[in-house]
Amino acid sequence: MRMSLAQRVLMTWLFTLLFLIVVVLKLDDKAPWNWFLIFIPLWIFDAILLVMLIVKIIGRCKSGYDRNGNNLRKKIWYLCAMLLKLGFQLALCVRLEQFAQIKLTFIFIPLWLLLIGAMVDLGSNIYSMRQD
């Protein structure tokens, strides 16, 4: 399951556009669907990315491709980032559908952890590029 960069960009734009169209319809009261249905384009996109990521992780582990584990650590971070994003989306849908009255502080914890992790990852990449 290998996709070119152009295919990944096109897929990202299409799913994002579909999500934004459905959100606008929901906010204009044109779509009576619940928020879990509104987020389906993002979840399909995330599922595709998760499958691709898991296949890559399994492929790297089986072949012993990365001896020092740097690339595997990066893939594990991507997996954790995807799970944090999914956690945020689920918590947001639960709050928007009013299944539970969760404080917004708790809903945004996965997103904040994701952003902090992304900053650390970016900082470590910049630092390692300066060392080379």
Range of the domain at 82: 5-131
* Number of separate domains in the chain: 1
Check residue 31 and give its pLDDT. 87
Predicted confidence band of residue 120 (pLDDT cuts 50, 70, 90)? very high
Dump the DSSP string for 15-53: HHHHHHHHHHHHHTT-----HHHHTHHHHHHHHHHHHHH
Check residue 5 and give its pLDDT. 84
Backbone angles phi, psi at 17, to 5 degrees: -60, -45
- Contact assessment for residue 71 and residue 60, using Cβ atoms and an 8 Å cutoff: yes
Does this model's pTM top 0.85? My answer is no
Predicted confidence band of residue 132 (pLDDT cuts 50, 70, 90)? low
Check residue 104 and give its pLDDT. 92
